[in-house]
Structures are given as structure tokens and as C-alpha cells.
Amino acid sequence: MTEAQPAGPQLPTGELRLAVGRRGGRGVATSQYYQGALRVIRPHYLDASGQVAYTIVNPGGGYLGGDVYDVDIQVEEQARLLLTTQSATKIYRTPGAPAVQHTRIRLGPGASLEYLPDQIIAYRDATYRQQTVVELAADSSLVMCDVVTPGWSPDGGLFRYEEVRLRNEIHRDGRLLALDNLLIRPGDPASPLSGMLFLEDYSHLGSMLVVDPRVDDGLVQELRDLLAPLDPGGQLGLSLLNGPGFALRALSRSTGALNKTLFAAVDLLRHRWYRQQPLNLRKY
């Protein structure tokens, strides 16, 4: 926990800035800075496509009350970045002040980002606010996923956290394309989580946002057909955004089942657009 700080600007708990450009047909970091409780481990290339893969690590192992994480990702012209995390984002008790993560993503002309972090696990009495702002060029490509779990508490009870808020703002070519604002407050009696408008008797929520000039209604239909067998309970929705992109939401009872659905969609897009093989993140 933090002690009383001397006057003056305070560094974020963890800070990561990464810019990726295209050099010799491959994505490489053109600048990189991190401090505190965030860093990236050495990049790798999963295939011969030139897409570079970076993994974000939180050496502290979890977020605490008052923690501020600052992430700035830039993908330059024609470069392709796959960004993932080493493990789940864990939010411990946050008495006093929430844990906050601000992420800013800028995608240059023809650039692409697949941002596939592990699931979020909020512990008992945790409040977490994640705010992500993405700015895309008209011809850049974004695939972004989130999985929110029911959290963790010592007695095994679900949804013992105070609040999880995930707010994604997507700007394309200078125009606000989508505002995806998810707010889960398990203790709010006016909109109970087990209600039919929230989670019913499901426990896990998956979300995906895709913006790419190649998205159209035909692709949305194709994805619905592809994903339907993975969604026996009929708890998956897909819809075209107000521009070339789509939003996907799914409810489930496990992170594994949701990842299967989300990665099926990711893999279709990777193959369709870049002739890449299904993703295998080989986490260990």
C-alpha cells in the first residue's frame, strides 16, 4: 500500500508506453518505456506474417486501492501488433479509492491491433475502473476483447466485488464511432445481476469490439452462424456498429467457454484478412 506522498506529481503505479512500426516487413518496437508495476516481456513472432506479439506483465501480481495504471499503445502505419497479458488482471480489495487503468491506443493508416488480454478477476470489496480510448485511422483495424469473471472471495461466493467498470471509447477518423460502457455493481438492488436484463444465472461476460473497413453485414451473419453452435443457451449477440465494425457480447459460466467463442471469431478474422493460422498463445 502507498504511504503519504510528498507534494508534487506522482508517478502512476505502473506505466507502459509502446510504439510499434513496420521495419523490413515486420512489426518492431520503435519506442518503449515502462516503469513501476507494468512491463512487457520480449516480443515474439507467432508466424511468418510479420505481426509482432507483445505480452504485458504486472509484476506486482494485482491491482490495489488507489493504484493507477497508464498504458499507451501506438501502432504505426502498416504495422501489426498482437497484444496480450501474461495472466488475469486481479483486483484486490480497494478501500478508499478504486484501482484505475487508463489505456490509450492509436492506430495509424493501415495499422492493426489485436488486443486480447486475459480475464478480469475482481476480489471481494474491489472497485475497478478501466477506461480505454482508441483512435483509428479510417483504414486501420482493431480487434479487442474482454472477459469479466464473477470474481473471487475467500468463502467461494460470487460477485463480492463492489464495482467493475469497463469503458471503451472508439474514435475512427476523428469521429466517435462507439461508446461501450459496461458497469457492474453487484450490490445495486435496482438492477440485480441475476435479473433477466443482466446475467440471468450466468456468471461470466465476454465482450468483443472489432473495427475494420472489411466488416460488413455479410461478415456479421457469417460470424453468427459460426458461433451459434458454441452458444447453446442463446446468450450471444452480435451487431453491426455505426460504421464498419461490430460488437459482440456473450454470457457464459466459464472463462474457458467464453474464450472458445471469442477466439473462434478472432481466428476467422485472422484467416480471412491475413491468411493466418488459428491463434495459439502458448501461455506458460
Partner 1 sequence: MQNTRTEPREAPAHRPPSYWLPLLQLADSALPTGAFSHSFGLETFLERGLVRDEETFRIWLSHFIHTQLTHSDGLAIRLALEAGSAAELRELDALLTAQALPRQVREAGVKMGARMLQIASAILDSAEVEQYREDVAAGDCSGHPALAFALAGRSLQVPLPELVSTYLFSTATSLTQNAIRGIPIGQDAGQRVLRRIHPDIAAATVRIAGLDRSDFGATAPGLEIAQMRHERQRARMFMS
Give me the half-sphere count of Cα atoms (radius 13 Å) on the Cβ side of residue 19. Answer: 7
What is the signed CA dihedral for 82, 109, 72, 144, rounded to 10 degrees?
Answer: -40
Q: Scanning residues 96 to 155, which ones bind partner 1 (CB under 8 A)?
A: 131
253 binds partner 1 (CB under 8 A): no
Cα–Cα distance measured from residue 172 to residue 142, given in angstroms and rounded to the nearest whole number: 10
Beta carbons of 83 and 56 less than 8 angstroms apart: yes
241 binds partner 1 (CB under 8 A): yes
Segment interacting with partner 1, rule: CB under 8 A, options 7-15, 113-121, 236-244, 276-284:
236-244
187 binds partner 1 (CB under 8 A): no
Q: Can you tell me which of 181, 256, 271, 280 binds partner 1, judged by CB under 8 A?
A: 181
16 binds partner 1 (CB under 8 A): no
Segment interacting with partner 1, rule: CB under 8 A, options 25-33, 53-61, 73-81, 162-170:
162-170
254 binds partner 1 (CB under 8 A): no
Q: Where are the beta strands (DSSP E) in 24-140?
A: 26-36, 39-44, 52-57, 68-75, 80-85, 89-91, 99-107, 112-116, 120-122, 127-136
Segment interacting with partner 1, rule: CB under 8 A, options 42-50, 134-142, 178-186, 263-271:
178-186
In the complex, minimum distance from the CB of residue 282 to partner 1, in angstroms, rounded to a whole number: 30
Cα–Cα distance measured from residue 227 to residue 223, given in angstroms and rounded to the nearest whole number: 6
236 binds partner 1 (CB under 8 A): yes
Interior CA angle at 184 toward 178 and 188, to 5°? 130
Q: From 148, 140, 191, select the one nearest 167 (Cα to Cα).
A: 148
| Residue (231 or 267) nearer to partner 1, CB | 231
Q: Can you tell me which of 11, 59, 95, 175 binds partner 1, judged by CB under 8 A?
A: 175
Q: From 120, 186, 123, 125, select the one nearest 153 (Cα to Cα).
A: 123
Cα–Cα distance measured from residue 139 to residue 107, given in angstroms and rounded to the nearest whole number: 9
Q: Can you tell me which of 1, 4, 48, 196 binds partner 1, judged by CB under 8 A?
A: 196
CB neighbours of residue 162 within 10 Å? 19
Report the interhelical angle of 217-227 vs 255-274 (nearest 10°): 140
Give me the half-sphere count of Cα atoms (radius 13 Å) on the Cβ side of residue 230. Answer: 21
180 binds partner 1 (CB under 8 A): yes
Q: Can you tell me which of 26, 102, 124, 167 binds partner 1, judged by CB under 8 A?
A: 167
In the complex, minimum distance from the CB of residue 189 to partner 1, in angstroms, rounded to a whole number: 9
| Residue (47 or 169) nearer to partner 1, CB | 169
In the complex, minimum distance from the CB of residue 93 to partner 1, in angstroms, rounded to a whole number: 22
Segment interacting with partner 1, rule: CB under 8 A, options 19-27, 82-90, 139-147, 231-239:
231-239
Residues binding partner 1 (CB under 8 A) = 131, 165, 167, 170, 175-183, 190-192, 195-200, 205, 207, 224, 234-242, 247, 249-251
